[in-house]
Structure 1
Amino acid sequence: MQKSLLAGLALSCATLALAASELLIGDFSDGLAAWEERSFSGETRYRVVELDNRAALEAIADDSASALYREIEIDLKNTPCLHWTWRIEAPLGSDTDERSKAGDDYPARLYVVRRGGLAFWRTRALNYVWSSNQPVGSRWDNAYAGENARMWALDSGATKAGEWVSHVRDVRADWRAAFGEDIDTLDGVAVMTDADDTGGAARAWYADIRLSAYSSGADCVRPDAPQR
C-alpha cells in the first residue's frame, strides 16, 4: 500500500490558480467543502470542531489511514512560506519504527505535493510529520513511496502532546533540501493522521493552514537572507 497521495494527485482534476501575498488553505471555519478524502486503509474520521476558541480539523484514526487533500495550484514565487498549527493527543508506541512499512504511521502529518505531469512517476511529496520516535530535524524516504516522498520530523514524542504547536516553513528551501531541485509551484496540500500499519489509534487537530509571502513576517525570512 502506498500512502502518499502520489497516484491520486498525479491523475488530477481541475486546479485553482491563485497569486497573492497570502493564500488560505484551511482555517476550517467554512467546513470541508474545498477538501477531498482519499482512503488507503479504512477511514480516519475527520470533522470540524471548535477547540480553544478556534475552528479546527479533528482527525481520529483507529487502525485506519485516509487523508484529506486540497488540490490547488500554488505559486511559490509569491507565497513560499507555509504556516500551520497542529496538536496531538499522544504519540504512537515507543517501538514504532517509522522508517519501515510496519511503522509508517504518524499522529499528525501535513504534506505538499508536486505532480510529475505525464511522467507520473516523478510526482513527489514532502511530508512534515509529528514523529513518535525520530529526532526533530531528521529526514528519511517514505517506506512505501521511496525517494518520491520525503518525511521530515518537526515535532517528536510526547513532550508537546496536548499543546498547540505552530510551524512556518520555507517550502522552496525545504524542497531543495529534500529533493535537490528548485521548484516554483505546488499542486496540492494534504493532512493525514494514520494508524493502520501499527494497528493502533491516534488523534490530532489541525488549524490555520496558509501560505504567505516572505515579507509578511513571522519567520520564513529570505530577501536575501544571511543577516545573523
Structure 2
Amino acid sequence: MPLRITDRASRADAVAALIFGDARRHVDYAGNELVRIEVRENAMPGERFLHQLEVHPTGLLDLQWGLNCVAAEGRNDALPLREVLEVVHQVHDLSRADAFRALHQPRRCESRRRVDWRVGISPRAVDALGMSYNWEQLDVPGSETFSRAERIYSDCPQDGYAADRLMGLKSSQPVEDVLRPFLEEFFAYSGFLNAGECTEATLSAAW
C-alpha cells in the first residue's frame, strides 16, 4: 500500500542517504508520481548528475550509477565491473533495511516482500564530445585470459540482464543469487565464450 504523499519525500531521502553515503545529494524533484534525488558534478539544478535515484509510489527504485572511468581520445578505461558488483551489493543490503521497508505502509500479516531486480550496464562509454566506445577490457584480475569473440561488442537487454531469473527474490537470499545470473548474461551478451567460468572467476576475485 503506497505511502501518503506527505511521507514520501522524507522516506525516499532516507533511502538515498544509505545509497549515496557522505556524497552531497540534492532532491531534484518531489511530487505525487516520484521523488528524484541526485549526486551532481556541482550544486546547480539541471547540471549533469553523477548518480540519480528515483523512488516511485509503486515501490520501484530506479538507480542510475555513473561508473568511475574515463573515455577520451579514442579510448576508454577498462569497465569497472567490480564497482558494479559493489553497487549491487549495496542495494541488496538496502533491500533488507528498515528504510526500504518504510517506503510502503505495512499490511496486516505481511511477510517480507520479494524483490524484482533489473541490472543493466551501458554497452558503451561516452566521452565529453559524445563519441561512444565499446568496452574492450574489464578491471577484474585475470580477465585478460577470458576467451572472447574477435569482434568486441557488448549489448544489454531492455529489461536488464537475466531479468526472468531475478524476479521475486527473497530479501534473505544471498547477494550471489543476484550477481551470478546477472554476470552470466553480461558475459554472454558481451561475446565471452565461457560465461559460467568467467562469472565464477569474477566472483572469486571480488570476494
Q: Structure 1-normalised TM-score?
A: 0.30
Q: Structure 2-normalised TM-score?
A: 0.32
- Of structures 1 and 2, the one scoring higher in RCO (CA 8 A, sep 6+) is 1
For the pair shown, which has the larger CA radius of gyration, 1 or 2? 2
Higher-strand-fraction structure: 1
